[in-house]
């Protein structure tokens, strides 16, 4: 398993678990959960600095961007213009070119607005960004994103924060078969086994935030997800047995007394 | 008394001295320049050129950084 790296735009990662940094009780809890999870990539949001409170802790003081790859996101953006503005600012903070594009279309379900997402992918790619794209689980749209220059396809398992797990395994499998790009399940996982299922479907990684941050024991859940991703990947690479509708005995039938 | 002008920073309107350089202004708020990005009237500002920019009335400044997110 040592050589089995996750490669995103030529950058190699040992961990296939990407974690979000939102929704934790505080920054030290977040930093510890990330450490336990073994994640090498974390998503971060771009927001206004609190100008009046100078003592407010900064994320960079807790999670060192030299050690952990920051993946700036566009959470909260509802059109291409806002998403582009956010990521151009993110790049300005410290030269981040690997970004997570997320253009939402609907406040209730937080589903991706795919037309705006596709437009933004085209523009960002032209500007030199490496775009990992949050998208729906539609194979046709996934193909359009790939053609537009996306660096990774990141379909949702279920609505963001819902914890429902992978609802459409068929579509995820179809996307897996059609693309050579990294395929990462983003959003909707609820428990560690959901991550194992994603990996067994052949996904290259999973992105988890709420399921860890809001678990009753976030540190334990961070470790559970770490193990689940490793288990799922190993299982996928091992080549599972065929499914059959009949029983086949595990013990020899010859020589029964 | 020095002439004052009105500007907006991160959506908040404040009065500052006329002829204030952007660099001096951000220093006053103790903005950690290596951890933020700055926009002036919707244009990204090159952080090396902060000293060349003099704030004008009705300027809109945005200072952003990374926070936790999914």
Q: What pLDDT score was predicted for residue A226?
A: 98
Cα A206 to chain centroid, rounded: 4
B9–A23 C-beta distance less than 8 A: no
Percentage of chain A with pLDDT > 70? Answer: 99
* Range with lowest mean pLDDT among A86-95, A129-138, A194-203, A216-225: A86-95
Give the separation between CA A225 and CA A19, rounded to whole angstroms.
Answer: 10
Res. A155: pLDDT tops 80:
yes
Count of structural domains, chain B: 1
Contact between B5 and B18 under an 8 Å Cβ cutoff? The reply is yes
Half-sphere exposure of A146 (CA within 13 A, CB side): 16
Chain A, residues 94-123, CB within 8 A of chain B, namely 94
Contact status of B63 with chain A (Cβ, < 8 Å): yes
Give the closest residue to A150 by CA, choosing from A178, A198, A118. A118
DSSP string for A137-187: S-HHHHHHHHHTT-SEEEE-SSSTT-----S-HHHHHHHHHH--S-BEEES
For helices A218-238 and A192-200, angle between their N-to-C axes, nearest 10 degrees:
20
Of B11, B29, B37, Cβ closest to residue A89: B37
Q: Which fold has domain A6-238?
A: TIM Barrel (3.20.20)
Q: What pLDDT score was predicted for residue A53?
A: 78
Q: Which residues of B touch A88 (CB under 8 A)?
A: 44
Chain B, residues 40-59, CB within 8 A of chain A, namely 42, 44, 47
Q: What pLDDT score was predicted for residue A39?
A: 97
Contact status of B37 with chain A (Cβ, < 8 Å): yes
Compute the mean pLDDT over every residue in chain A, rounded to the nearest whole number. 94
Contact status of A129 with chain B (Cβ, < 8 Å): no
Give the separation between CA A251 and CA A90, rounded to whole angstroms.
Answer: 60
Contacts of B63 (CB under 8 A, 6+ apart): A48, A49, A51, B9, B10, B26, B29, B31, B36, B37, B38, B39
What is the least distance, in Å, from the CA of B32 to any CA of chain A? 10
Domain housing B20: 4-56
* pLDDT single digits (tens) A177-192: 999 999 999 999 999 9
The verdict on residue B65 lying in a domain is no
B70–A20 C-beta distance less than 8 A: yes
Structure tokens at B36: 């933020």
Give the separation between CA A15 and CA B60, rounded to whole angstroms.
Answer: 42
Band (A214; pLDDT cuts 50, 70, 90): very high
Contact between A19 and A209 under an 8 Å Cβ cutoff? The reply is yes
Structure tokens at B32: 């950690």
What is the least distance, in Å, from the CA of B2 to any CA of chain A? 24
CATH number at residue B17: 3.10.20.30
Res. B11: pLDDT tops 70:
yes
Q: Which residues of A touch B10 (CB under 8 A)?
A: 48-49, 51
Contact status of B1 with chain A (Cβ, < 8 Å): no
Contact status of B2 with chain A (Cβ, < 8 Å): no
Contact status of B65 with chain A (Cβ, < 8 Å): yes
Res. A57: pLDDT tops 90:
no
Q: What pLDDT score was predicted for residue B2?
A: 77
Res. A100: pLDDT tops 70:
yes
Res. A158: pLDDT tops 90:
yes
Query: What's the rounded mean pLDDT across residues B47-51?
Result: 87
Question: Which residues, in sequence order, are bridge partners of residue A100?
Answer: A73, A132
**What SS3 state is found at B50?**
helix
Query: What's the rounded mean pLDDT across residues B18-29?
Result: 89
Band (B29; pLDDT cuts 50, 70, 90): confident
Q: Is the ipTM of this complex over 0.85?
A: yes
B66–A88 C-beta distance less than 8 A: no
DSSP string for A195-239: HHHHHHTT-SEEEESHHHHTSSSHHHHHHHHHHHHHHHHHHHHH-
Q: What pLDDT score was predicted for residue B5?
A: 92
Query: What's the rounded mean pLDDT across residues A21-34?
Result: 94
Query: What's the rounded mean pLDDT across residues A30-34?
Result: 96
Res. A1: pLDDT tops 60:
no
What is the least distance, in Å, from the CA of A195 to any CA of chain B? 16
The verdict on residue B33 lying in a domain is yes
- Pairing between β-strand A205-208 and β-strand B12-17 as defined by DSSP bridges: unpaired
The verdict on residue B22 lying in a domain is yes
Residue of A nearest to B12 (CA): A51
Q: Which residues of B touch A44 (CB under 8 A)?
A: 66-69
Give the separation between CA A132 and CA A185, rounded to whole angstroms.
Answer: 11
Band (A2; pLDDT cuts 50, 70, 90): low
Give the closest residue to A184 by CA, choosing from A23, A43, A82, A64. A43
Give the separation between CA B60 and CA A106, rounded to whole angstroms.
Answer: 29
Handedness of CA B10, B12, B16, B18 (dihedral sign): positive
Q: Residue A108 catalytic?
A: no
* pLDDT single digits (tens) A125-139: 999 999 999 999 999
Band (B48; pLDDT cuts 50, 70, 90): confident
What is the least distance, in Å, from the CA of A174 to any CA of chain B? 26
For residue B29, with 0-12 CB atoms within 10 Å meaning exposed, 13-18 middle and 19 or more buried, which class applies?
middle
Q: What pLDDT score was predicted for residue A94?
A: 81
* pLDDT single digits (tens) A237-255: 999 999 999 998 899 888 9
The verdict on residue B61 lying in a domain is no
Query: What's the rounded mean pLDDT across residues A206-218?
Result: 96
């Amino acid at each position: 398993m040592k050589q089995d790296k996750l490669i995103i735009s030529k950058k190699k990662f040992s961990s296939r678990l990407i974690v979000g940094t939102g929704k934790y009780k505080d920054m030290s809890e977040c930093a510890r959960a990330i450490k336990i999870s073994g994640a090498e990539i974390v998503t971060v949001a771009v927001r206004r600095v609190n100008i009046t409170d100078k003592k407010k802790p900064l994320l960079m003081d807790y999670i060192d961007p030299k050690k952990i790859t920051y993946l700036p996101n566009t959470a909260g953006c509802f059109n291409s213009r806002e998403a582009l503005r956010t990521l151009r600012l993110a790049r300005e903070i410290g030269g981040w070119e690997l970004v997570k594009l997320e253009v939402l279309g609907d406040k209730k379900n937080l589903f991706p607005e795919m037309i705006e997402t596709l437009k933004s992918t085209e523009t960002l790619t032209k500007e030199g960004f490496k775009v990992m794209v949050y998208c729906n689980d539609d194979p046709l749209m996934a193909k359009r994103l790939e053609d537009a220059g996306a660096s990774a396809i990141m379909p949702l398992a279920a609505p963001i924060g819902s914890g429902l797990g992978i609802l459409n395994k068929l579509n995820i499998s179809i996307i897996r078969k059609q693309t050579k790009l990294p395929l990462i399940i983003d959003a909707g996982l609820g428990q560690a086994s959901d991550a194992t299922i994603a990996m067994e479907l052949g996904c290259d990684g999973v992105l988890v935030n709420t399921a860890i941050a809001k678990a009753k024991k976030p540190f334990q859940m961070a470790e559970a997800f770490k193990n689940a991703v490793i288990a799922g990947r190993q299982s996928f690479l091992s080549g599972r047995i065929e499914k059959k509708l009949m029983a086949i005995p595990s013990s020899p039938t010859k020589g029964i007394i | 008394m020095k002439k004052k002008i009105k500007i907006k920073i991160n959506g908040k309107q404040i009065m500052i001295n006329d002829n204030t350089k952007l660099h001096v202004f951000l220093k006053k708020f103790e903005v950690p320049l290596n951890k933020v990005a700055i926009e002036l009237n919707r244009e990204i500002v090159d952080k090396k050129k902060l000293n060349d920019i003099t704030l004008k009335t009705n300027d809109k400044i945005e200072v952003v950084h990374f926070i936790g997110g999914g």
